[in-house]
Structure 1
Amino acid sequence: MSEHPELVARVEVDTARYPSLAGRSVLVTGGGSGIGASLVEHFCAQDCRVGFIDLDATVAAGCADVIAAKTGNRPAYAVADLRDIPALQGAIAELAARLGPFTVLVNNAGNDDRRPIEAVTPEYWDERQATNLRHQFFAAQAVLEGMEATGGGSIINMGSISWMRGAAGLIFYTTAKSAIMGMTKSLARELGERNIRVNSIAPGWVLTERQVVRAKAIYQGKFAEYLEAQCLKEHLLPPDIARMALFLAAEDSRLITAQTFIVDGGVV
């Protein structure tokens, strides 16, 4: 049980099983915590061969232990800073050598730290684009050969509704996340003839442990404020995003590509 009651879903539901995912090799970036850890867990529960990349070796090892205990399926992981593209490429190659060519990629890694506009330097701007956008393209590039060799695949990019709402205090983040929609459409057009589908998910405010701690420390009252903006009066949790990713990875969505799916409880 989480120490934060906001992270406990009000209703437990039976969720779908996707036979087409069983045995498939899946790569998740930023998979050690938050939404990424939920993605890894959900794909492991579908009997996939899952690999993930994380910046923190201790966090990654702990995540793999927890998911193995919960699902009986231990994910593999590699440690890399995704801002370092050669390191990212090396981590993907390492995991593919262990798990086989990836037919599903979930470009999840990102960071939505805030900074006032006056404090944004050119160096910080470039670092935020490297953190939230650039690696998504190069991860997709790195898995293309394996996907094509196995007959196709599914790439899922993680966007955000923050840019749709014009969120303040993180313009460098909203700029990157808005670009993901354009990148998704162009990749889908370019890769469709290779039977590779490319879609993106734009989550609303998803309550992870990190977000809850930060909200309670900095944004008092934001829980109620955000629920007021939602049509559905229940906090979004990481599994809500992971279940959309499962659908987009499975053959159930075989003719869906170039789309962005908003999962936000009805905010935008």
Structure 2
Amino acid sequence: MPTPFSYALYPSLANKRVLITGGGTGIGSTLVEAFAGQSAEVSFLDISDEAALTLQERLSTATHPPRFVHCDLTDLDALAQTLAQIEQRSGPVDILINNAANDTRHAIEAISAKQWDDSIAVNLRHQFFCAQAVLPGMKAAGCGVILNMGSISWHRALPDLALYMTAKAAIEGLTRGMARDLGPHNIRVNSVIPGAVRTPRQTMLWHTPEEEAKIVGGQCLKQRVEPEDVAALVLFLASDNAARCTGREYFVDAGWYGA
């Protein structure tokens, strides 16, 4: 992989108002940096204040310095207020990236009804309500882009992720339903399906050298998928170059078919 990673430049993304959930760490922080590099106006939500503020400071010299807003996406009242404040400050959102999620492993026998509800809230519910909140502005503009982050996990039937995979499978149905309903307003909706992405969290918690070897062994391409690979796809789908792309799932997984 080139160092530093070199993104294509999309003139249509310059000055676009972009909202990214879960933008403080992992894939989300890479998305924030990638869109800032396109001269987009980025607002990003997270609950990890320290990491998000560090990212905001690091990108403070961008054409439009990204703005971090603390927000618990599982609190729908707080979410609605936060999105209203962002729109009042910056204007209607042009591009929504529904990225936030939590893939903590779990055993089926250990899950309570509250844990079920909490998992759905953090992995699925906010994607719908974030989209709902930005729709008036997109409809008034006559265009918009919503990108929902899915997961390879349920396509591969990975272990100890039943709740997470349930939510991620539902995101693809949500995407197709929204694409159909919002198409007449020229609002495009797609899902991005990352494979086994090498983030600090995954490396620290689950991607041991043995697991990494197994992942790469099952991929058609024998290199790890990096957050920048995901961001490169997201930039394309958000740009006008993807003007006829909607209602679909786009994989960036290095062809991960093996066991």
Matches within 5 A, 1:1-268: 9=1, 14-69=6-61, 71-215=62-206, 219=208, 221-268=210-257
What does the per-residue CA deviation read over 1:24-69, in whole Å, with 9 as the maximum and x for residues that have no partner?
1000000001000000100000000100000122222111112225
Partners of 2:209 and 2:40 lie apart in 1 by 40
Which amino acid letter does the alignment assign opposite residue 47 of structure 2?
L
Partners of 2:2 and 2:14 lie apart in 1 by 29
Partners of 1:191 and 1:10 lie apart in 2 by 38
Q: Do the aligned partners of 1:29 and 1:108 also contact (CA within 8 Å) in 2?
A: yes
Q: Do the aligned partners of 2:39 and 2:63 also contact (CA within 8 Å) in 1?
A: no
Report the identity percentage: 44
TM-score with structure 1 length normalisation?
0.92
Secondary structure, counterpart of 1:257 in structure 2:
coil
Partners of 2:4 and 2:40 lie apart in 1 by 23
Q: Do the aligned partners of 2:176 and 2:247 also contact (CA within 8 Å) in 1?
A: yes
Secondary structure, counterpart of 2:82 in structure 1:
helix
Unaligned runs of at least 5 residues, structure 1: 1-8
Runs ≥4 residues deviating over 4 A: 10-13
Unaligned runs of at least 5 residues, structure 2: none
Partners of 1:112 and 1:159 lie apart in 2 by 11
- The alpha-carbon deviation at position 117 of structure 1 amounts to 1.3
Partners of 2:198 and 2:6 lie apart in 1 by 21
- The alpha-carbon deviation at position 10 of structure 1 amounts to 6.2
TM-score with structure 2 length normalisation?
0.95
Q: Do the aligned partners of 1:205 and 1:264 also contact (CA within 8 Å) in 2?
A: yes
Partners of 2:56 and 2:137 lie apart in 1 by 24
Partners of 1:206 and 1:138 lie apart in 2 by 26
Partners of 1:94 and 1:232 lie apart in 2 by 44
Partners of 1:253 and 1:72 lie apart in 2 by 24
- The alpha-carbon deviation at position 92 of structure 1 amounts to 1.3
Q: Do the aligned partners of 1:53 and 1:91 also contact (CA within 8 Å) in 2?
A: no
Secondary structure, counterpart of 2:229 in structure 1:
helix
How well do the aligned residues superpose, as a CA RMSD in angstroms? Answer: 1.4
Q: Which moved more, 1:76-85 or 1:175-184?
A: 76-85
Secondary structure, counterpart of 2:60 in structure 1:
helix
Partners of 1:59 and 1:12 lie apart in 2 by 21
What does the per-residue CA deviation read over 1:174-193, in whole Å, with 9 as the maximum and x for residues that have no partner?
00000000000000000001
Which amino acid letter does the alignment assign opposite residue 162 of structure 1?
S
- The alpha-carbon deviation at position 96 of structure 1 amounts to 1.7
Equivalent residue pairs, number: 257
Q: Do the aligned partners of 2:106 and 2:161 also contact (CA within 8 Å) in 1?
A: yes
Q: Which moved more, 1:219-228 or 1:48-57?
A: 219-228
